[in-house]
Amino acid sequence: MKIRKNFVSNSSSSSFVIALNKQYTNEKLFEIIESKLNDKIIKQIREEFDYESDKIFCDNLLDYYAHILFNDIKRNFISNDFYLELNDWLISASELGSEASDSLLSYLLYDLGIDFDTSVLKTKATSY
């Protein structure tokens, strides 16, 4: 009989890259984020809540998520002293985990597999 003497982990992790165009504006970045959230998350919000009777709540929740994601992306460059400048792009890399995280960016890239591919923001996540 085998006896385990240490912890067992089912966790995995994922690396991601964020590229932010140097010419971005906060307004354009927020618009892109809000659009992507509308496409990907509005279905979940509508399934969880009665959208017609809770429209104001659902719209406010979506706006709240967009602001959190916007701040997560900006913080990734501000708190990360190391990023690469390549032509018109600022490029940052980091790691996400499968454990619960307070980062909406982690949830979108790792759990939902959402990538951005626009003229202002590009992301790519890979798991291992």
In a domain, 2, yes or no: no
Sheet containing 13-21: give its strands across.
Answer: 84-86, 89-97, 13-21, 121-127
pLDDT of 55 above 80: no
Residue 79 corresponds to which tokens in the numbers above? Answer: 């708190």
Coil/strand/helix, residue 91: strand
Q: Which residue did the predictor score with more confidence, 23 or 65?
A: 23
Per residue in 66-115, pLDDT (tens digit) is 888 888 888 777 666 677 889 999 888 877 655 545 567 777 777 777 78
Question: What is the total count of domains within the chain?
Answer: 1
Taking the C-alpha atoms of residue 29 and residue 77, their distance in angstroms, rounded to an integer, is 14
Q: What share of the chain is helix, strand, coil (3-state, %, to 5)?
A: 40, 25, 35
In a domain, 35, yes or no: yes
In a domain, 1, yes or no: no
In a domain, 4, yes or no: no
In a domain, 6, yes or no: no
Q: Which residue did the predictor score with more confidence, 28 or 113?
A: 28
First to last CA, the chain: 31
Residue range 49-66: average pLDDT?
76
SS (H, E, C) 100-122: CCCCHHHHHHHHCCCCCECCCEE
Domain that holds residue 114: 13-127
pTM above 0.85, yes or no: no
Mean pLDDT of the chain: 75
Coil/strand/helix, residue 98: coil
In a domain, 21, yes or no: yes
In a domain, 3, yes or no: no
Hey, which of 14-18, 20-24, 49-53, 80-84 has the most confident mean pLDDT? 20-24
In a domain, 78, yes or no: yes
Confidence of residue 17 (pLDDT cuts 50, 70, 90): confident
